[in-house]
Structure 1
Amino acid sequence: MTLNNHGEKVAAEVLAFIHSRRSLMLSTLTPEGYPYASYAPFTCVDGQIYLLLSEIAIHAVNLQNNRVASVLIIEDEDSAEELFARRRVSYMVQSEMIETESQAWHTGVQHLADRLGPRIEGLSKLTDFKLFRLTPRRGRYVKGFGKAFALEGMNLSGEGISHLRDGHKRREANDAKEVEHTPA
């Protein structure tokens, strides 16, 4: 699927936003099927997300037991113009644990170190740290009220982008009057 000029502009915005963040919110599923929220520093390589996680951490255990997860990359609360419309991108992802010492392992760890600093080198030498690759299945980019976009495809910027226009709707005037005239 080819993107039109507007889609290419949105895709570039998505990637620029992602690269401006250094950590993401991660939602995994426990063995009992409950959602578990956490966070992790990340990097991106070829449209995929890489995380270096300790297998002691609950989210790493969850990813090893259930490869389905969700990520949220969000604008900082303190710098957002509007708390209810913070810039964000979320993805439904499929995770894969990368074999230690494979070429993909070395590439992912090097990208993490380049982005996040020398601590990655030390962590990657610990046997409990595992490298995970998260492949997006679909996502959503929100940059304000009425400015939401569906991202389809298996990369961060979306192979197909559509503006979501069927969103917020005002309540009918009669509904508001009923509320206003309801006795306290």
Structure 2
Amino acid sequence: MNHTNTQDEAQKKAKPIAPKVKELIANTKSIILATVDAEGNPNSSYAPFVQVENTFYILVSFMARHTKNLAEGRKTSIMFIEDESATKQIYARERLTIEATASQIERDSETWNTVVTHLKETHGKVVDVIAEMKDFILIALQPTKGSYVNGFGSAYFVDENLEIMEHRNDVNHQPK
């Protein structure tokens, strides 16, 4: 086995530590959303979020296309991504992509009140205003699985608890 293969094998076995995933989430104020409508048309957007335990919550308006898609329980994907201005290599930005199930939280329920309080603490007084608007709803995004990438050839499956499971690909990038 040559030296390059040994390095490749070592990289696949060396999982990133779980706090790196949690650090990426902690350093992010909004998530990128990918949803689909009833006809399967894609929509990408973003929303400020908070994480309570292992669930992500967003307070979103029905004036946005993604809200209807989420309220109707369609599949969604959310992404946390390293800031462009902070990355050393634009092609290899650190990112966490999660498939999630969406469910609407009942207004004025215990969960609603707890999460809206967290949203206010994180995103400020604007939450007081939008939480009172009837077109805004609270959506819970429960992770089911995903992937974490932190460089070229460094991609890992993550589970519903956002824990690194295994290297995502046994085939490295190939030269031309």
Q: What residue in structure 1 maps to residue 165 of structure 2?
A: 161
CA RMSD, 1 decimal: 1.6
Please state how far the C-alpha of 1:165 moved relative to its aligned partner: 4.4
Tell me which residue corresponds to 1:180: none
Q: Normalized against structure 2, the TM-score is what?
A: 0.86
Aligned to 1:3: none
Cross-structure match for 2:11: none
Q: What is the alpha-carbon distance in structure 2 between the residues aligned to residue 66 and residue 128 of structure 1?
A: 17
Q: Given the alignment, which residue of 133, 138, 141 partners 1:126? A: 133
Q: Distance in 2 between matches of 1:59 and 1:91?
A: 16
Report the Cα distance in structure 1 between the residues aligned to 2:116 and 2:57, rounded to whole angstroms: 8
Q: How many residues align structurally?
A: 163
Deviations 1:143-179 (A, max 9, x none): 11122111012x3x23x521234243324xxxx5xxx
Flag the structure with larger Rg: 1
Pairing of 1:34-49 with structure 2 (within 5 A): 34-49=41-56
Contact 1:29–1:66 (Cα < 8 Å) also in 2: no
Structure 2: stretches of 5+ with no match in the other structure? 1-13
2:104 equivalent to 1:97: yes
Question: d(CA) in 2 for partners of 1:108 and 1:24?
Answer: 16
Which of 106, 124, 145 is the aligned partner of 2:113?
Answer: 106
Unaligned stretches of 5+ residues in structure 1:
1-5, 177-184
Is 1:67 aligned with 2:91? no
Q: Answer yes or no: is the 8 Å Cα contact 2:73–2:101 preserved in 1.
A: no
Contact 2:98 2:143 in 1 (8 A): yes
Kept in 1, the 8 Å contact 2:71–2:139? The answer is no
